[in-house]
Structure formats: C-alpha cells, structure tokens
Amino acid sequence: MTNTASTFGIHEALKTLGIQDKNPGTSTGSQFFASGTVISSYSPVDGALIGKVTGTSAADYDQVMQAAGKAFLEWRQKPAPLRGEVVRQFGNKLRELKEPLGKLVSYEMGKSYQEGLGEVQEMIDICDFAVGLSRQLHGLTMHSERPGHRMYEQYHPLGIVGIISAFNFPVAVWAWNTALAWICGDVCIWKPSEKTPLCGIACQNIIAGVLKDNDLPEGISCLINGDYTVGEMMTQDQRIPLVSATGSIRMGKIVAQAVAARLGKSLLELGGNNAIIVTPDADIKMTIIGAVFGAVGTAGQRCTSTRRLIVHDSIYDQVKEALVAAYQQLRIGNPLDENNHVGPLIDADAVANYSNALKKVVAEGGTILVDGGVLKGEGYESGCYVKPAIAEAKNDFEIVQHETFAPVLYLLKYSGDLKNAIAMQNGVVQGLSSAIMTNNLREAEQFLSANGSDCGIANVNIGTSGAEIGGAFGGEKETGGGRESGSDAWKIYMRRQTNTINYTTDLPLAQGIKFDL
C-alpha cells in the first residue's frame, strides 16, 4: 500500500478487523467457503490494492445454504429477547470497533472519514432499535363473530433472508436488514458489492465472534462474494423467501422479476432522483447548507443525494449566486483527511458516467454553472477525483430524468404556484426522497399532503439525505416500494398468521352457515 494508507492508519485498521492485507478469503464465520474467482479490492482514494477476496462458487453457495438452513432451525426457537441480547452484543462490538471500521469504509468506498464513522453509527443505532423491538414483536387480538371463540394474529420468522447491498453504504444497509431479521428469528446470507468486499469480511468477522461467544451456529450470519451471478443464486433460490436488494433500478427490476417468478418476496431500495423545492419563503442560508451537503456528500453517491434544486423565479438569482459561492469553498481530496469535504468516486466507470452526464446536459441545451472535470496530479493518482458541478437545466431533459451517481446538481426554475414545483419534483420515475425549504406553514403542509410529494421520504427545512433509523426508509414508483430500518419495517422479515380458537363444545360456522349432521 501507499504512504497515504500508512499515514491514516489503514494497516492498523485492517489488522484490528481481522483482515490480513492482500490475503484471500471469504466465509460464513470461521469456516471458509471460497473457491471461486479472486476479487481484488482497490481503494479509490489512492488506487492501492487493499486486499483480495475469493469469490463464492456454486458449490460453495450450496454449503452456505446448508449451514444457514440448519442454523435457522435452532435460531428460530430462541426467545426473541435472547436474540435481542445477541444483537446488543454485536452493537457493543461495533462501538469498540467504530474507528477502524469507519476508516475501512472511508478507504475502500471513498466517502469522508466522518461519513464512514456516521455509517458505523447507523449500524449501532439499528442494533439499539432492534434490541428494544425484540420485546415488542406484537400481533393483534380481534373479536370473533362466533360465541366462545377468540381470534388473534401473530408473526413467525420467515427463514433465510438474502441481502444484496450496494457499494455506497457498504455496511449500514446490511445492518439495517440483519439487525431486524435476526431479532425476528431469521438467518441471513449477504452478498456485499464486489466493489467493497473487505467491508463485508470485516462485518462478518465481528458477528462471527459474537456468535461464537454465545455458542450459536455461525450459519446465522453468512457471507458470499462475487458479481451479479452470485446474486442470481439467491434470487432464483426457492429456499430464500425474502431477498432484500439495494442498487440501481435496472438491477432491481431483474431481481424483482426473478423473485416474483418463484412467488418469493422482495424488498427493493433502488434509485433516487431527489429534489429540493425552494420557495420565496425559504431561509436561503439553510437552503444552501442542505443543498450543498445533499449534492456533494459521499461525492453524490447516495441514493438520497440531491440531484435537482427547484427554485422559484423570484429568488432564483439569489440562490444561484449563493450556491456558486458555496461551491468555491469545497475542498476535494483524500477522504481520510477531515479537512476535505469531497472524496473520490468509486471507480473509473463512475467517472465516465459523470463526464458523460455533463456532456449530455450541454448537448440538450443546458448551461454549466460550476465547471466539473476530472482532477489530476499529486493526491489524485487514482483518477477517481472529480469536481462537483452545477448545471442550469430543464426538468424534462433526458439526463435530468436519469439518476447520475456523481456530484452533479441540476438547477431548475419554477414560476407561479407551489403546485407547479411539486409537479416538477414528482415528474420523474424515481420516488425516494424529497424536501421543501419554506417558512410558510401552508406550503409545508401542501407539500406533505396527498397532493404533494409522491416520494417515500418528504422533508421540510432539511435536505434530502441523512435519514434516521427510527423511521421507515424507502421510496415509491421505480425506487421499488421497499421499507427498511425503523417504524414497522420489521414485519417484512416475518410471516403473518391468523389464529382462531374455539373454547366451547359446539362448532358454529362463520357467517351463520348451517351444516347439521
């Protein structure tokens, strides 16, 4: 590795997390199931090889499935509060390892160190949430129409939950799923992104230690590595009743069709084309802070990143001037250096998509307001660093309708009533996150009403990114309709059962039907 890695303690972080530099291996825990193609993980920070992971072959996958299936038979019999205790211990381990894991997330994915720490904190938070939930997996009781009968509904574990996660949140999204699935009595098989495999290895090492300490089967948490073909093993496997997949709309449609073909369940968290509406009653200072962080945080590689800023024409020039001034203050560089605001994109393909988007918006008639470009020279050797850009555009441009996973913000103008801005915001196929900046109560309520935002997340006076785990996270339309994390999202990891008990010596039928013998 380079001196950059040494300077920021990556070697030490890897060792602490049980990962030996450039040493292949992937497992369900202490057992190794890995005989497939070797995956090399290069850091977008400096282009250095961090390590290698051996992918999962079809034979390996079958061994993993057998381990998971056997573990489920034991795990589902444990009382839910006991399962919560195991998740509590996992959360405490994450607290102990927050710094090295956050550092690995930053170095392997490219987000800022502060965001890496924040991602691990999300893991800790969902563990805390799940621990409390383990004592609240409640059903309902209903009154029967038949005398001497009682009705109620309860929830039981589904079985094996398959998880496919994306590179941009290489550890948190897995934890959102597993923490809830585990307390529900499910076991999990995780395929992390092939772009961030070492983050998966690190998390698996942590939970494997917790399971071992509690004399529990390692198959409760399983890891498989590889490209989309490994994911296909899960989507087509009848033994997996639920597949949770995070990624692009294109990927989500493939997963949804494969799982639906076998009548399985899918939880989809797909693309976003998130907008902030800025009305004449907005606080401009708050607007700029929210818009800039939303657009450039994680180098624009969040599903909730702000892609569009829809500004009323009466304040358009004022917002534009303040936005351009704010972009001049951005510092781009090594994300482990906490003085920098923006790190690299994940790889060369992401850089190409960024560059193509800027070319296309100009070709469609847009104007580049803040120049983009790929940075070169000292500190930018990986070739993945780009300048956050702003383009004045129109909402119906093809490129604006598309989600570009990069720091490109489209500045759009609306006139007249707020309903015109809402129509623009809703006028895309994605429906993840949305926001309005206004001090007008009527505008805020209109935005949150049934005639307002059509997204799964709608915020007032905050940006589009930065969701808390207490609320259900997810979006509508081609974002997939899935919900993860808080609220009652736990129910998707369980099967619902309605029970009727007759405690009399008679057998009356429902709806007053007579059947006398």
pLDDT at 97: 98
CATH number assigned to the domain comprising residue 336: 3.40.309.10
Q: Are residues 439 and 372 in the same domain?
A: yes
Q: Are residues 292 and 329 in the same domain?
A: yes
With respect to residue 502, please indicate whether it lies within any of the assigned structural domains.
no
Q: Are residues 284 and 345 in the same domain?
A: yes
With respect to residue 509, please indicate whether it lies within any of the assigned structural domains.
no
With respect to residue 511, please indicate whether it lies within any of the assigned structural domains.
no
Q: Are residues 254 and 309 in the same domain?
A: no
pLDDT at 8: 82
Q: Which residues pair with 499 in a beta bridge?
A: 152
Q: Are residues 243 and 293 in the same domain?
A: no
Q: Are residues 468 and 486 in the same domain?
A: no
- Distant-in-sequence, close-in-space partners of 394: CB < 8 Å, separation ≥ 6: 365, 366, 400, 412
Total tally of structural domains belonging to the chain = 2
- CA-nearest of 196, 136, 141 to 171 is 196
Q: Are residues 129 and 278 in the same domain?
A: no
| Residue showing tokens 């979006």 | 475
**Residue 386: its H or E element:** none
With respect to residue 429, please indicate whether it lies within any of the assigned structural domains.
yes
CATH number assigned to the domain comprising residue 148: 3.40.605.10
Give the catalytic positions in this structure. 269, 303
Q: What is the pLDDT along the chain (517 residues), one digit of tens a residue?
A: 345 666 689 999 999 999 975 444 444 443 445 667 899 999 999 999 999 999 999 999 999 999 999 999 999 999 999 999 999 999 999 999 999 999 999 999 999 999 999 999 999 999 999 999 999 999 999 999 999 999 999 999 999 999 999 999 999 999 999 999 999 999 999 999 999 999 999 999 999 999 999 999 999 999 999 999 999 999 999 999 999 999 999 999 999 999 999 999 999 999 999 999 999 999 999 999 999 999 999 999 999 999 999 999 999 999 999 999 999 999 999 999 999 999 999 999 999 999 999 999 999 999 999 999 999 999 999 999 999 999 999 999 999 999 999 999 999 999 999 999 999 999 999 999 999 999 999 999 999 999 999 999 999 999 999 889 999 999 999 999 999 999 999 999 999 999 999 999 999 888 988 888 8
- CA-nearest of 515, 516, 502 to 145 is 502
φ/ψ region of 413 (left if φ > 0, alpha if ψ in -120 to 50, else beta) reads beta
Q: Are residues 45 and 77 in the same domain?
A: yes
With respect to residue 178, please indicate whether it lies within any of the assigned structural domains.
yes
pLDDT at 515: 86
With respect to residue 488, please indicate whether it lies within any of the assigned structural domains.
yes
Residue-wise over 401-419: b if at least 16 C-beta within 10 A, else e? ebbbbbbbbbbbbbeeebe
pTM: 0.95
- State in Å, rounded, how far the first CA of the chain is from the last one: 83
Alpha-carbon gap, residue 183 to 287, rounded angstroms: 39
With respect to residue 507, please indicate whether it lies within any of the assigned structural domains.
no
Q: Are residues 492 and 418 in the same domain?
A: no
Question: 96-103 long-range CB contacts below 8 Å, 24 or more apart?
Answer: 97/16, 97/17, 97/206, 98/124, 99/13, 100/12, 100/13, 100/14, 100/16, 100/17, 101/13, 101/17, 101/171, 101/199, 101/202, 101/203, 101/206, 103/8, 103/9, 103/10, 103/13, 103/336
With respect to residue 517, please indicate whether it lies within any of the assigned structural domains.
no
Q: Are residues 253 and 381 in the same domain?
A: no
Which range marks the domain in which residue 177 is found?
A: 3-270+480-496
Q: Are residues 265 and 339 in the same domain?
A: no
- Distant-in-sequence, close-in-space partners of 321: CB < 8 Å, separation ≥ 6: none
Q: Are residues 256 and 280 in the same domain?
A: no
